[in-house]
Each structure stands twice: as C-alpha cells, then as structure tokens.
Homo-oligomer: A and B are copies of this chain.
C-alpha cells in the first residue's frame, strides 16, 4: 500500500512500569486507518530526555507523520516539549499565544497562572499550536511531529483536530471471519488465498477460549471489490465459520 505512513511515540514511565495500560495506541491506529494513513511503528520510552530525542529523530526521518503522547503537563516529569526542542535544535521559551490561552483558561476557572502552569506555554520556535478543548494547555506540531497529551480524552480531541490537516490516502477497509478451527487446520488454504490476493493483507489472529481454539481472519486493503472477492473465497473455504 502506498498510503502515507505514521509512527507513534508514547512517552511515560507509567506505561513501562505496568502501572497504566496505554489506551492511545489503539485509538490513534483506528483513526489513522480510517484516514488512509498507515501506522507503521510504535515506540514507548521512559521520561528520559535522551530516549525521547533519539526516538523522535529516527521516527521523524523514517515516516511521513509522527504522533507523540504524554509529558506536556506542568510537573517536573513533563519533559516532552524541551526534548522536542533539543531533538530538532530549536530554541524554546514561553510563547505569547500559548500563554494567552493558559491565561484565558485560568481566568475562566479561577485558577492562578503560576510558574508551573506557565511551563505549559513553553513551545519550541516554529511550532504550530494544537488546541486542547479539554484542559487548555496546547500541544504543538513541529515539522512532521505532532506533540499531544497523554490523557486519553485530550489525546483524542487533539487527534481529531490534527488529522483533517494531514494528507490521507485511500481508506483501508477490512472484513473479518471468525473460524472455530485451530490455525493449524486453516493455514495451508489461507496461505494460498493470500498468495492469490497480493494487493490485500490477510491476517490470522488466533484465540483460545474455554478450551476452544479458533482464529479471526481479517482481510484488509483499499480495494473494496477485491476484499469482497477474497471474502467469498474465504467463506467457501470455511463454511462453518461465524462471520
């Protein structure tokens, strides 16, 4: 598929310690798929400036778009903005437009625009702000890197604002069939089917539940007619399957 590509960088000790289960990868993956952008790689790194810098440079070079989540709040462990500035050699400081957003937000909520909150107005030079309709503090786009919050509600709102600005490709469609037979029984005809449809991606995702082994067969691609043809063949191969 020649659709644009993307990578995601999840920043946060809480994911790597096992304390928190990431929710943003799946959300972004689905949104990108619908927009015709292929999520090609995800990396999760700790709250370490060097780890963030190394990862974002590689991903920015390797993919059309990069989305980061986490580390843009006001606390000492929020080091994403400064790490992005360092990664791309940009100066960083409190920017007037970001400060104005935070000031308006504080006025509306009766909070003080203190030094900690002003940290959230630190934006690398040349970046474009991403609005945060939930809690005010903006994200930003620097080059092809979109820097967003880790809190899922805010992350999702920012994705919704950024995606329409990005070139998409043909939406990737999928159909699936649930087969209650072990993968070892279906692998050979499935491989032949996959070979006959090189323009499609045919995946087999096994499961076992209550001692029953089965697989979800998922056919993905940008050509609806080809997916239909492949699904017809698939259903004929495994007539007992549950769609």
Instruction: Say if the beta carbon of A135 comes within 8 Å of chain B.
Output: yes
Q: Indicate whether A213 sits within 8 Å of B16 (C-beta atoms), given known contacts A44-B41, A184-B114.
A: no
Q: What is the copy number of this chain in the assembly?
A: 2
In contact, A116 and B183 (Cβ under 8 angstroms):
yes
Check if A15 is an interface residue, CB within 8 A of chain B.
Answer: yes
Shortest Cβ gap from A78 to chain B (Å): 8
Interchain CB contact under 8 A, B19 and A183: no
Tell yes or no: A36 within 8 A of B by CB. no
Are B14's CB and A205's CB within 8 A? yes
Contact A153 B208 (CB under 8 A): yes
Known: A43-B42, A115-B188. A172 touches B17 (CB 8 A): yes
A191 within 8 A of B: yes
CB-defined interface of A149-193 with B at 8 Å, one 1/0 digit per residue? 001011000000000000000001010000000111111101100
CB distance from A110 to the nearest CB of B (A): 11
Q: Is A64 an interface residue (CB 8 A)?
A: no
Are the C-beta atoms of B117 and A184 separated by less than 8 Å? yes
Q: Interface of chain A, helix or strand or loop or mixed?
A: mixed
Is A239 in the interface zone, CB < 8 Å from B?
no
State the CA gap A170–B29 with chains docked (Å): 36
Q: Bound state CA distance, A23 and B117, in angstroms?
A: 34
Q: Is the CB of B74 within 8 A of A184?
A: yes
Please give me the residue from chain B that is nearest to A154 by CB atom.
B208
Interface string of A1-30 (1 = CB under 8 A from B): 000000000101111111111110111111
Q: Is A49 an interface residue (CB 8 A)?
A: no
B-chain residues with CB within 8 Å of residue A30 when the two chains form the complex? 17-18
User: Is A134 located at the chain interface by the 8 A CB criterion?
Assistant: yes
Pair A33/B18 contact, Cβ less than 8 Å: yes
Residues of B near A29 (CB, < 8 A) are 15-18
